[in-house]
Structure 1
Amino acid sequence: MARDIQITIDCADPASLGAFWAEALDYQVQDPPPGFDSWKQALVAMNIPEERHNDANAVVDPAGTGPRVFFQKVPEGKQAKNRVHLDVRAAPGLAGDDRMAALETEADRLIKLGATRIERHEPAPPLAAGHIIMADPEGNEFCLD
């Protein structure tokens, strides 16, 4: 049986970065615990000080099939290139110009949400289909694949 996984991202602003990735992945912010109408209501009930309300955030696949993405506040900023990164599959099954056009369309959408375009890699068959390297609003690299 395959294990359930969670992807954890260290960041400065979990709420903001979670909102970006929810849009990028067609995910949603995880619902508050049962019995609460909002996360604010739950955090107040748990006696979490207001200055800690943005210490963590999570987004989930509404269909329940993709991994949970968890954002945790850390004091230090990003230091170097990510050793692990997300590939956003924006053009599965497409090749050549059609693939790159679909990747460009997705890159434009994500830039409007706060992403930054880093570099485009052209297709180089048979092994490289082409991709675009992007960074999320906090500088974490990811690929449009």
Structure 2
Amino acid sequence: MAKEFQVTYDCADPGALAGFWAEALGYEFDAPPPGFDTWDAALDAWGVPADQRNGASAIHDPEGTMPRLYFQRVPEGKTIKNRVHLDVRTAPGLEGEERMAALGAESERLQALGARQLKRNDPEPPMSQGFIIMADPEGNEFCLD
């Protein structure tokens, strides 16, 4: 039986990075715990100081089919290339110029949200249909595929 999983990001600003990925993927922020109208109300009740309230954030697929993403603050910055990364399936089934145009449009949308385009890899059939390598606002690589 398959196991449910989440993808966890170590980062400097969990709230901001969760916001970027929520916009990028069409995800939503996790709701506050039962009995609280907001996360601030829950954190107040638990006595969490204001300077510690951005220690973690989580977002989920509103349809419940894709993995949850969890963001946790760590003291060190990113220093090397990711060993694991997300491929954001932007143009499945598209080929050639139509595919690269769709990837380019998504790259521009994400750049407006704070991402950077690192490299465009044009199609090289039969091994590659083309993709774009991006970095999120904290430098974590991902691909538009």
TM-score of the two chains, using structure 1 as the length reference: 0.98
| Structure 1 residue 140: Cα displacement | 0.5
| Structure 1 residue 35: Cα displacement | 1.2
Corresponding position of 1:82: 82
Corresponding position of 2:45: 45
| Structure 1 residue 77: Cα displacement | 0.3
| Structure 1 residue 43: Cα displacement | 1.0
Is 1:7 matched with 2:7?
A: yes
| Structure 1 residue 46: Cα displacement | 1.4
Question: Per-residue CA shift, 1:19-43, capped at 9, x if unaligned?
Answer: 0000000001111111111111111
Question: Per-residue CA shift, 1:97-145, capped at 9, x if unaligned?
Answer: 1110000010010000000010000111112110000000000000000
| Structure 1 segments of 4+ aligned residues over 3 angstroms from their partners | none
Corresponding position of 2:54: 54
Is 1:66 matched with 2:72?
A: no
Segment of structure 1 superposing worse, 35-44 or 128-137: 35-44
Q: State the secondary structure of the residue aligned to 2:8.
A: strand
Is 1:27 matched with 2:27?
A: yes
Gaps of 5+ in 2: none
Q: State the secondary structure of the residue aligned to 1:93.
A: coil
Percent identity between matched residues is: 61
Amino acid at match of 2:142: F
Corresponding position of 1:94: 94
Corresponding position of 1:119: 119
Q: Distance in 2 between matches of 1:46 and 1:65?
A: 31
What is the root-mean-square deviation of aligned Cα atoms in Å? 0.6
